[in-house]
Amino acid sequence: GRFRRGGAGTRGGSAMAAGRSPPTFLLLGAAGGGKSLLVRPGGPGRARGGRGARPHPAVPVPVPVPQVGTNLTDLRLPRRVTVRELGGCMGPIWPSYYSECSALLFVVDASNPTQLSSSCIQLLSVLSAAPLASVPVLVLFNKIDLPCYMSLVEMKSLFRMQDVVACATQPITMLETSARDGTGLAEVLQWLRSALREPC
Ligand SMILES: Nc1nc2c(ncn2[C@@H]2O[C@H](COP(=O)(O)OP(=O)(O)OP(=O)(O)O)[C@@H](O)[C@H]2O)c(=O)[nH]1
Structural domain boundaries in the chain: 10-51+65-197
Q: What is the CA angle 176-63-36, rounded to 5?
A: 45
| Cβ–ligand 1 contact at 44 (below 6 Å) | no
Give the distance between the most distant pair of CA atoms in the chain: 47
Residue ID of nearest Cα to ligand 1 atom 27: 64
| DSSP class of 71 | E
Tell me the mean pLDDT in the region 150-165: 89
| pLDDT-wise least confident of 46-50, 58-62, 97-101 | 46-50
Atom of ligand 1 nearest to the CA of 62: 29
Predicted confidence band at 49 (pLDDT cuts at 50, 70, 90)? very low
The CATH number corresponding to 10-51+65-197 among 3.40.50.300, 3.40.50.970, 3.10.129.10, 3.40.250.10 equals 3.40.50.300
Q: Which residues pair with residue 71 across a beta bridge?
A: 11, 85
18: burial class by Cβ within 10 Å (0-12, 13-18, 19+)?
A: exposed
| Cβ–ligand 1 contact at 179 (below 6 Å) | yes
Distance between CA atoms of 69 and 31, rounded to whole angstroms? 12
Residue whose C-alpha is closest to residue 198's, from 77, 104, 132, 103: 103
pLDDT at 67: 62
Q: Which distant-in-sequence residues (6+ apart) come within 8 Å of 68 by Cβ?
A: 87, 89, 90
| Cβ–ligand 1 contact at 180 (below 6 Å) | yes
Complex confidence, ipTM: 0.97
Predicted confidence band at 12 (pLDDT cuts at 50, 70, 90)? very low
Residue ID of nearest Cα to ligand 1 atom 22: 31
Pocket probe mutation, ligand 1, options 36, 48, 145, max atoms within 8 Å of Cβ = 36
CA trace torsion 126, 132, 137, 140 (10° rounding): -30
Residue ID of nearest Cα to ligand 1 atom 8: 34
Contact 176, 45 (CB under 8 A): no
34 CA from centroid of ligand 1 (Å): 3
| Cβ–ligand 1 contact at 53 (below 6 Å) | no
β-pair type (137-142, 172-176): parallel
| Cβ–ligand 1 contact at 67 (below 6 Å) | yes
pLDDT at 4: 52
Distance between CA atoms of 114 and 183, rounded to whole angstroms? 23
Kindly report, residue by residue over 70-97, the tens digit of the pLDDT.
Answer: 889 999 888 899 999 998 888 899 999 9
Ranges assigned E (strand) in the chain: 10-11, 24-29, 70-76, 80-86, 101-109, 137-142, 172-176
| DSSP class of 88 | G
| Cβ–ligand 1 contact at 87 (below 6 Å) | yes
54 CA from centroid of ligand 1 (Å): 16
Residue ID of nearest Cα to ligand 1 atom 21: 32
pLDDT at 166: 92
